[in-house]
Structure 1
Amino acid sequence: MPRKIPKETRQRAMRLVLDHLDEYPNLTTACQTVASRLGFGAESLRRWVRQAQVDAGARDGLTTNDLERIRKLERENRELREANAMADSTGQRNECCEMKQTLISGGIRCRASMVISVVSRSSSRSVSTRRGGGSSISPARSAARPRWSAAWRGKGVTSTGSRSAGSRARGI
């Protein structure tokens, strides 16, 4: 496992290389000499010096801040792609995403037709509740289904929803 070199030691080593760079034929030789004296890798020191030169504007390349921003954006992009892939595989993504894209890319005619089709589709699928608490299911269907679940029947609640006399006495 690579060891973590303290920031002060790194800065001192980079300062030594940059101060004595004119005494050596190239950057690599200067880094090898300084790194051997301080006891860490010459290639690591060379990369640190090059990045410091880029940050200072003495060399072409991406600055540390730009590299950090790019890494952050790439990580966010990867996470969003994974989330989209998971949503696609589990079927959680619905027509809403495609509809929004169509609404954004389409014109006014497209928007109006999409809104009409979405409203008609959503109203036919869902069961809306009324203000009084009843559902919009037909009376014949609501009479066919039991009013209370089996769990409520054991607790002294009648099918009309009121408590029986025995349950009142027991304090249930």
Structure 2
Amino acid sequence: MVVTMSKRYPPEVREKAVRLALERLDEYESPYAAANAIGPMVDVHYETLRVWIKKALAEGSRPAAQPSQVLPPAEREELLRLRKEVRDLKQANEILKLASAFSRGNSTRGTTDRRLHRRIPPGLRRRVDL
């Protein structure tokens, strides 16, 4: 029998992943497809994300409404394009924030000597004392 340990995600990761998935839900045919595509990007297992999405939809969270039909077609297309671009940029920022949260503990900046190479004092250059 194989025992697997559950991976606990911080609440911030859960909220950001669900918000990201709900914003992009209209691009996929089902919450499963959205979770399968977005889960690896935010380092969350797709099945866990699918359950979170399903729970959020049951609680009443809905993706953003479509633009109204009173706009001319050219403006509506531009609005949709700009919204998609903003959504993509926000997604990239969320992914970078999640990645930086996990990598902060691995930084080597805490060392006392931050110089890569030591400099030789000007008076000692090209001088050999025997």
TM-score category by the smaller chain?
Answer: 0.3 to 0.5
Structure with more relative contact order (C-alpha pairs < 8 Å, separation 6 or more): 2
Larger fraction in helix: 1
User: What is the TM-score normalised by the length of structure 2?
Assistant: 0.42
